[in-house]
Amino acid sequence: MFGWFENPRLRGGVHAEEHKSETAELSIASGFPIPKKLYIPVQQHVGKPAEPVVKVGERILKGQLLAYSQGTISAPVHAPTSGVVADVKDFPAPHPSALPIRTVVIESDGQDEWAPLEVPDDPFELDAETICAMVGSAGVVGLGGAVFPSAVKLSLGRKSKIHTLLINAGECEPYLTCDDRLMQEKADEIVAGIRLMLRGMGAPKAMVGIEDNKPAAYQAMRDACRDYPNIVVSQVPTRYPMGWDRQMLRYLTGQEIPADGRAADIGVVVHNVATAHAVYKAICLGQPLISRVVTVSGAAVAQPRNVEVPIGTLMSEVLAFCDWDKTKMARLVMGGPMMGDALPIADVPVVKACNGILALTAAEIEEPEVQPCIRCSSCVTACPVGLLPLEMASRIKVNQLDAAVDLGLKDCISCGSCSYVCPSNIPLVHYFKFASGELVKRQQADHKSEQTKRLIDERNQRMERIRLEAEAEAQRAQEARAARLAAQQAQQAQQAQAKAEETV
């Protein structure tokens, strides 16, 4: 069921129940209606939030820039349809906290009118810098969930002398099939995006890793790459979390990323397969990233399917399109059930990071009673990182966070494999997420303390400088008074001497 395979390149992992058959055989749904209102957060990526450039009441066109990127690690956002900017306000974010985030609200006009698009005559003749610039201005980010600005990674490829572009098409999370359908239906466009990415980063070859439970997608990608021998499409075992970039890279290349390093350190850059398709649309069609394919599934959905959804659409509207029975839903999840985020409300927008919307029933999320640990070491065998989950959890229970860090807490990817295989149903990953949150709080407290100390030191230095300046000013004033007094005395002496001479 799980464990170390005979292949030493495959570490840990589990065979999770897939729940993919409900959507894997259905074409991506067309005809999704344009929402009356779209809610586009300005923070949909790693890095600084984008800064709005539109004003309330302004008419905008589809694809028009709404907010520009700030700094190197940032990405712009664009209008998913035409209409009027109704507001720029705080709106609940698609996050477990549902805390508000700055959002541009568009009231659509139903015309879906495009802004003028710039399409190059021959995209494959563009130089690397132009490709990177176009990808950046289109707001393309990693669509596998990391949402790191793609242009930055492409530029890194040239600077770091990358020799391999690895396209991650694993899609190992249960329920999710959006990448699978994208490869089946858009393989030629994905391969065009891969070729452009290779050109943009100056790498000679690409590898595509697809789990072996996606034979149709594998064949479609193989056919699309027939004329490009520098793009190798390979099957990898269906084993969660094969979609983790380090696991995929280790299996396909036999190389290991250093513990505190990145894939670029060993000459590889990893991108998601949906990102490659977004690059194709950005370069060949001139279209920014304003929509994405989302898997809508779960037993509370009567018609599970993959849908191409405009960014900013409320998840409640997407669920309604798929005949959602709200009364049956026990949990709403953005992403997959293993690493996705449980959301408290459905009236939050679809963002670039959203690859799945799952309306799960109580039967699907049934959590058996927790039992005492039987010391079976199943969690150790299942951990893809090679950690000791139970030992870390034991330290966390008694608030020994530093000891848990020493055991590798910061290397945990919160994949949930340990919890999944535990015969005692111990929620190990919950402990790790809690501890990681506590570490962040501690770091924030330490940072605040350092900032406070710095401000106090700066104030003390400022007060000391003011005191010294005041003393210097007083000294100068005293010296000036003494000089004036001496001058007056000298003048009086001269006058007295002159008067004495006149008398004589």
CATH number of residue 470's parent domain: 1.10.1060
DSSP E strands, 314-369: 329-334, 341-343, 356-361
Which amino acid appears at position 286 of this protein?
G
Nearest to 428, CA basis, from 475, 480, 387? 387
H or E segment to which residue 43 belongs: none
Is residue 494 in a domain? no
Number of structural domains (the chain) is 3
Question: Which tokens hold the place of 456?
Answer: 């106090």
Nearest to 294, CA basis, from 358, 346, 347, 381? 358
Q: Does 322 show up as a binding residue in the annotation?
A: no
With residues binned 3-state (H G I as helix, E B as strand, rest as coil), the percentages for the chain, rounded to 5, are 40, 20, 40
- Please, are residues 141 and 285 in contact by the beta-carbon 8 Å criterion? no
Nearest to 241, CA basis, from 80, 384, 436, 51? 384
Question: 379 and 348, same structural domain?
Answer: no
CA-to-CA distance for 69 and 136, rounded, in angstroms? Answer: 9
CA-to-CA distance for 256 and 258, rounded, in angstroms? Answer: 6
Nearest to 396, CA basis, from 381, 418, 378, 376? 418
Angle, in degrees to the nearest 10, between helices 273-284 and 150-159: 90
Question: 481 and 444, same structural domain?
Answer: yes
The pLDDT, as a whole number, for residue 43 is 94
Question: 415 and 307, same structural domain?
Answer: no
Q: Does 225 show up as a binding residue in the annotation?
A: no
- Please, are residues 188 and 281 in contact by the beta-carbon 8 Å criterion? no
Q: Does 354 show up as a binding residue in the annotation?
A: no
Is residue 218 in a domain? yes
The pLDDT, as a whole number, for residue 504 is 61
Question: 158 and 22, same structural domain?
Answer: yes
Question: 145 and 107, same structural domain?
Answer: no
Q: Which residues pair with 236 in a beta bridge?
A: 211
The pLDDT, as a whole number, for residue 5 is 42
The pLDDT, as a whole number, for residue 437 is 85
Question: 391 and 244, same structural domain?
Answer: no
Which amino acid appears at position 244 of this protein?
W
Question: 474 and 356, same structural domain?
Answer: no
Sign of CA dihedral 143, 147, 151, 155: negative
Cβ count near 327 (within 10 Å): 6
Q: Does 383 show up as a binding residue in the annotation?
A: yes
Is residue 12 in a domain? yes
Is residue 441 in a domain? yes
Longest dimension (CA), the chain: 129
Residues of the chain with pLDDT under 70: 1-8, 504
Cβ count near 262 (within 10 Å): 16
Torsion of CA 174, 164, 75, 127, to 10 degrees: -140
Which amino acid appears at position 25 of this protein?
E
Question: 94 and 10, same structural domain?
Answer: no
The pTM for the full model equals 0.85
Nearest to 360, CA basis, from 175, 112, 110, 94? 175
Nearest to 241, CA basis, from 9, 428, 13? 13
Residue-range definition of the domain harbouring residue 281: 1-30+124-286
The pLDDT, as a whole number, for residue 13 is 87
Among 268, 286, 304, the domain-final residue is 286
- Provide DSSP, 97-127: T--EEEEEEEEE-S--PBPP----S-GGGS-
Pairing of strands 291-297, 305-310: antiparallel
Among 254, 269, 286, the domain-final residue is 286
Question: Which tokens hold the place of 66?
Answer: 């709404």
CA-to-CA distance for 140 and 142, rounded, in angstroms? Answer: 7
Q: Does 412 show up as a binding residue in the annotation?
A: yes
The angle formed by the CA atoms of residues 473, 475 and 476, to the nearest 5 degrees, is: 65
3-state secondary structure of 349: strand
CA-to-CA distance for 348 and 366, rounded, in angstroms? Answer: 25
The pLDDT, as a whole number, for residue 3 is 40
pLDDT tens digits for range 220-238: 999 999 999 999 999 999 9
CA-to-CA distance for 202 and 164, rounded, in angstroms? Answer: 10
Residue 495 dihedral angles phi and psi, to the nearest 5°: -65, -40
Is residue 499 in a domain? no
Mind spelling out the 3-state secondary structure of 208-250? EEEECCCHHHHHHHHHHCCCCCCEEEEEECCCECCCCHHHHHH
Q: Which parts of 343-388 fold into alpha helices (H)?
A: 378-382
The pLDDT, as a whole number, for residue 167 is 97
Pairing of strands 305-310, 268-272: unpaired
Task: Name 6's Cβ contacts closer than 8 Å, sequence gap at least 6.
Answer: none
Task: Name 486's Cβ contacts closer than 8 Å, sequence gap at least 6.
Answer: none
Is residue 497 in a domain? no
Is residue 501 in a domain? no
Among 236, 269, 286, the domain-final residue is 286
Is residue 495 in a domain? no
Which amino acid appears at position 277 of this protein?
H
Question: 39 and 26, same structural domain?
Answer: no
Question: 393 and 443, same structural domain?
Answer: yes
Question: 19 and 159, same structural domain?
Answer: yes
Question: 428 and 357, same structural domain?
Answer: no
